[in-house]
Structure 1
Amino acid sequence: MAPRLGLFLIWAGVPVFLQLHPVNGDEPPPYVYNLPETPTTTSSYTIPGFQVEKPHEDDSPPCAFPFTYRRKIYYKCTSVNSEREWCSLDEDYVGRWKICSDGDRPKCHFPFIYRDKRYFRCTTEGSAYGLAWCSLTEYFEREYAWQYCDRY
């Protein structure tokens, strides 16, 4: 129905911008503006005379790193088909996902091999900006999956 209406309005000279989302169980979150924020729980603490609610994200399920989505392996959160980064809650994506928060980062893989040398901690070797980094896989040159260590 919507495509016919859109075609009629275009034919009538009215510009139309329809945002139709695919309905497919194989899709990750369509677009963030339709999604609730990452679930948070609250804990309270007391200031004399006041009751204050303090949000925290301790109860959020962990991302499953690495995870496979549409036959591609992701070693960290991705923004594929989304305006915000998300991750799968299962190693093979089956529709369970969440919006990533600061606490959702993959673990460095130690030891890792970079340029035929084994590293047991973060390194600045090869870093363009001199920042420490680590590999997310055993052999960095296979997948080139990495992250900065100082960023978190």
Structure 2
Amino acid sequence: MARHVGLLRVWVCWLLALVGQLYKDPSATSATVAMTSFPETKVGKCVFPFYYKNGIYYDCVKFQAKSKWCSLNKTFIGNWKYCLKDDFAKCAFPFWFGRMIYWECTEDGNLFGRKWCSLTKNFNRDQIWKYCDSY
């Protein structure tokens, strides 16, 4: 009996992997088409936050592109560029988290002990953040 259950598990895992490869997320594909239908603008400064499709983004994004990119306008209208190290969103110091004000990256509130910071002055309200060790 245990052998049959083991074979059934292997078969189900294989089937799920196959279905996952065949399924393509239509929203991810349309995001790629929308972004790549415009040529990259190599000169310009990233604007954060920016609106793209139905979302608002506070840092560089990667929608099935070869690298992370950003919009050069508040609302994406086709002007974009691949993000370089200096283009990624900057921490907003000081920021308010819980009942404290932080002037540098903190491990407080992170289950994994990694340092993070808020991308807005009020983390309590906005809940927008990034890890400090990533650029």
The two structures have a TM-score, normalised by structure 1, of 0.56
The answer to whether the 8 Å contact 1:29/1:81 transfers is no
Is the contact between residue 28 and residue 81 of structure 1 (CA under 8 Å) also seen in structure 2? no
| Correspondent of 1:123 among 98, 106, 112 | 106
Displacement of 1:142: 3.2
Structure 1 residue identity aligned to 2:34:
E
- Residue 129 of structure 1 deviates from its aligned partner by 2.7
Q: Is the 1:63–1:90 contact (alpha carbons within 8 Å) kept by the matching residues of 2?
A: yes
1:101 aligns with 2:108: no
Residues 1:113 and 2:120 aligned together: no
After TM superposition, the structure 1 = structure 2 runs for residues 1-150 of structure 1, keeping only pairs within 5 Å, are 27-30=34-37, 39=42, 60-80=43-63, 82-150=65-133
What is the CA-CA distance between 1:82 and the residue it aligns to?
3.3
SS in 1 for 2:101: strand
Matched letter for residue 28 of structure 1:
M
Segments of structure 1 that go 5 or more residues without pairing to the other structure are: 1-20, 40-59
Structure ranking higher in helix proportion = 2
SS in 2 for 1:68: strand
Q: Select the structure that is richer in strand.
A: 1
Deviations 1:81-104 (A, max 9, x none): 635321101112111001222332
What is the CA-CA distance between 1:117 and the residue it aligns to?
Answer: 1.8
Q: Which runs of 5+ in 2 are unaligned?
A: 1-28
Q: Which residue identity lines up with residue 77 of structure 2 in the other structure?
A: V
Task: Return closer, same or farther for 1:138/1:124 CA change in 2, 3 Å cut-off.
Answer: same
Aligned residues: 105
Identity %, equivalent residues: 39
